[in-house]
Each structure stands twice: as C-alpha cells, then as structure tokens.
Chain A
C-alpha cells in the first residue's frame, strides 16, 4: 500500500548512461560552489540534467524509508488533500488506499493544477 504517492515520491530513471558520464566530464572543467561557515562547508546541489535525450524512462517508487508493514490501520496517514474517503471517515486504511492515491497522482500529472480535496 502506498499511502503517500505524491509526484515527489516517484522519480524517473536516467534515459541513458551518457547523461551521468557527461555530467562527470563537465564537472572536471567546472567549479562546485559552497558556502563557507565557521564549522562546515555547505555545497550547492546540482540536479538539473537538462532536456531528456529520449523518453525511455521508467517511473520508480522511491522514499521507501517511510514504509510501514501492511495491516489495517486507523490513524491518518496521508497528506490532507490526498486523503481517501475511508481515511477521512476513520474507517481504517488498507492497500486499496494506495490505489486512490495513485489516482490522485495521475490526475495531478495530467493537469497543471495541484490536486485539491
């Protein structure tokens, strides 16, 4: 059961080995920026790999560290805007709640608006 299937928890795979190979090569000629604090250096993130070279990508379910063992549960688990009816009513959630959330996510990705309740 995936009770929090947001667009943030699904990532796409790399379309090609060349993307990271090129990134590594590019880094040899560029600078990695950081902010110097008295006790540490905080580096700037680099995670925009540019336009996709092909669309042969797979969506991957990530953030599994938030997973639970399956059972019937009653406590609220989803972000408010995504709650399935049974969760709102306190009836308890099961794996079918995941499918509701997948539906939310599908609808969000196919439209420009964020899903609202």
Chain B
C-alpha cells in the first residue's frame, strides 16, 4: 500500500494535530454521569480513550470530534488523510473518489468498539461487514446498506479495540422526522423511503443471505449456513 505525507497534518508520534484541530476545554467539575458514563454497569477501562487530534489507523485518519456513544462503543468524526491528500494534489477526481460522489469525500465516522467484546465476536462481525461490502456492488440496494470503508485494531493497556470506519451519516430517522412540522415525515417521503429500504433489504436477503436482528452476532454461529 503506498503511503505519502498528508498535506495538512504534521506527524509526530501518535498524537498529531492537523490544522482542523479545535481547542479543548474542560467542563466544570461534576459528579453527574456524563455521556457514556450513563450506561448501566459502566466500566471506563472498556472504552477506548480517543482525543481530537489523534491520528489512528496506521496514520490514515485524523480525529476531529465525537459524534456519539453507545453501550459498547464511541463514534468519532475523522478526516481521511489519504483521500484528502489525493484530492488536494490533483484537481481531477481520481477513480477512487468517484465511487463516493454522493457523499463527503474527506470525512469518515469511526466506531471504536470496547475491548471487553470477545475476539470471536469481533472477527465474526468483521467478516460479516466485509461480506456486506463486497457481495454484489452492482446491486441497486448496495448503497442503501451502510458499508465499511476500512477496519483496524487498536491495542491499549486494557485490550484490543476493533475500529470500524464508515461513511459518515447525519442522524437517525427518529431525529429526522422530528424536524418536520407535526413531528412526522410527509407521506410522499415515507413512500419514497420505503421503496429505497426494500431494495436495501433485498440486497441483504438475496446477495448477502443476512438477517439483521436486535441481538448480538453471537447468535449467528448457531444459524450459519456457510
């Protein structure tokens, strides 16, 4: 894999600062649970410490800000230094960036999953996501399913964190509907979205042979058809 110096970031070790790094400011002291601390049975050592300005993924991604958190991960907005560099070197878009033409070409969302997830689950999830990203890119539903751009592992003192790099997405449908008057999506929009989602489901069912459930992928082993 070729490597080159990104045009804005100056690199010195793990904590490098690009030009887009913001100022960090400490909140007043509080004992109130903050962000992921609100999770029941919260254990700080399971979460990966991420700081804006960090460069991760073998020098490829520069962390910008935190997007959100979940029970088993935190999600961060980052700049893809490779893609950014290739764009600012040449005015002509590369073939690589043409495939992302309907979305931001510079930014990614990185999910830093907790290190207390067992290795087997990690690898199963990783290969599942690989499958979704490669099964049939020509299918119309391919771009309706969130796909993985990259993945890497980050080892800390507490364990190994699987990091998943995705296209950045704006917000959940739940939040989006609240932006409309009356707090609900207009019917024509709902109809259009249903059509799109059905095509996405078709891709999952027919090309990936995959079911999306509310449970963890641990259950998948019992029902694997491979």
A contact set with B: CB distance below 8 Å: 1-15, 17, 19-21, 23-24, 27-37, 39-49, 51-52, 55, 57-71, 73, 75, 77-79, 95, 98-99, 102, 105-106, 109-112
23 contacts between A and B (CB under 8 A): A10-B173, A14-B168, A14-B169, A14-B170, A24-B107, A27-B20, A28-B19, A28-B22, A32-B22, A32-B66, A34-B27, A35-B34, A40-B44, A59-B197, A61-B197, A61-B204, A65-B129, A65-B217, A66-B217, A67-B204, A75-B219, A98-B211, A109-B193
Once bound together, how far apart are the Cα atoms of A67 and B213, in whole Å?
A: 5
Q: Mark B19-55, 1 if CB is under 8 A from A, else 0.
A: 1111111110110001111000000110101111000
Known: A61-B200, A61-B212, A68-B220. A11 touches B173 (CB 8 A): yes
Q: How many residues of B contact A (CB 8 A)?
A: 87
Q: Is the interface of B mostly helix, strand, loop or mixed?
A: mixed
A57's closest neighbor in chain B, by CB? B170
A102's closest neighbor in chain B, by CB? B197
Asked if residues B205 and A95 are in contact (CB atoms below 8 Å), the reply is yes
Known: A42-B34, A66-B217, A95-B205. A71 touches B65 (CB 8 A): no
B contact set with A: CB distance below 8 Å: 19-27, 29-30, 34-37, 44-45, 47, 49-52, 64-69, 77, 79, 102-107, 125, 128-129, 132, 143-146, 164, 167-174, 176-177, 179, 182-185, 187, 189-190, 193-194, 196-198, 200-201, 204-205, 209-217, 219-220, 223-226
Known: A9-B212, A32-B25. A46 touches B65 (CB 8 A): yes
Asked if residues B173 and A3 are in contact (CB atoms below 8 Å), the reply is no
A48's closest neighbor in chain B, by CB? B171
Q: A9-B212, A67-B211 are in contact. List 16 more A-B contacts (CB 8 A).
A: A1-B201, A1-B205, A4-B213, A17-B104, A20-B104, A23-B77, A34-B27, A36-B26, A39-B44, A44-B34, A46-B65, A46-B77, A68-B213, A71-B223, A78-B214, A110-B187
